[in-house]
Amino acid sequence: MITKHLKFLSVIALTTVALPLSAQDWTPGDNVSLRMAASQPVHAIYPISVGFKEIIEREIPGISIALTATQGGLENARLLSVGEVELANGNSLAAYSLRYGEFAADGEDPQEQLVALFPSYTWEIGTMVPADSDVETFRDLVGKRIAIGPIGSGAEATASQTLTAMGLTDDDFENVQRSAVDQMFGALSSGMADAVIWGTAHPTGRISEQAATRGLRFVPFAEADMEMVTKAYPYFHAGYLRDDLYEGQEGNALWTGGATHFWATTSLPDDLAYAMVKAVWENKEELVIRHVSQEFLDEELVRMQAVLMDFHPGAQRYFVEIGILEGL
pLDDT tens per residue, range 66-114: 999 998 888 999 999 999 999 999 999 999 999 999 998 999 999 999 9
Which of 108, 171, 179, 115 has its CA nearest to residue 149? 179
- How many Å apart are CA 33 and CA 25, to the nearest integer? 14
Region 247-259 average pLDDT:
96
Confidence band of 229 (pLDDT split at 50, 70, 90): very high
What pLDDT score was predicted for residue 302?
A: 97
- 184-198 core/surface letters (b: 16 or more CB in 10 A; e: else): bbebbeeeebbbbbb
Region 165-170 average pLDDT:
98
What pLDDT score was predicted for residue 66?
A: 98
Confidence band of 328 (pLDDT split at 50, 70, 90): low
Region 3-26 average pLDDT:
43
Which percentage of the chain shows pLDDT scores above 70?
Answer: 92
Confidence band of 247 (pLDDT split at 50, 70, 90): very high
In Å, how far are 5, 143, 180, 200, 293 from 259, measured between CA atoms? 30, 30, 20, 9, 11
* Close Cβ partners of 306 (under 8 Å, ≥ 6 residues apart): 116, 319, 325
The pTM is what?
Answer: 0.83
- How many Å apart are CA 58 and CA 147, to the nearest integer? 41
Which of 124, 120, 90 has its CA nearest to residue 296? 120
Which of 219, 107, 95 has its CA nearest to residue 157? 95
- Cβ count within 10 A of residue 59: 15
Region 6-16 average pLDDT:
35
Secondary structure (H, E, C), the chain: CCEEECECCEEECCCCCEEECCCCCCCCCCEEEEEEECCCCCCCHHHHHHHHHHHHHHHCCCEEEEEECCCCHHHHHHHHHCCCCCEEEEEHHHHHHHHHCCHHHCCCCCCCCEEEEEEEEEEEEEEEEECCCCCCCHHHHCCCEEECCCCCCHHHHHHHHHHHHCCCCHHHCCEEECCCHHHHHHHHHHCCCCEEEEEECCCCHHHHHHHHHCCEEEECCCHHHHHHHHHHCCCCEEEECCCCCCCCCCCCCEEEEEEEEEEEECCCCHHHHHHHHHHHHCCHHHHHHCCHHHHHCCHHHHHHHHHHCCECHHHHHHHHHCCCCCCC
Confidence band of 152 (pLDDT split at 50, 70, 90): confident
CA 69 remoteness from chain centre: 13
- How many Å apart are CA 88 and CA 82, to the nearest integer? 12
What pLDDT score was predicted for residue 225?
A: 98
What pLDDT score was predicted for residue 16?
A: 27
Evaluate whether 131 touches 120 at the Cβ level (below 8 Å): no
pLDDT in tens, 153-163: 888 989 999 99
Hey, what domains does the chain have and what are their CATH numbers?
3-120+261-321 (3.40.190.10), 123-258 (3.40.190.10)
- Cβ count within 10 A of residue 110: 14
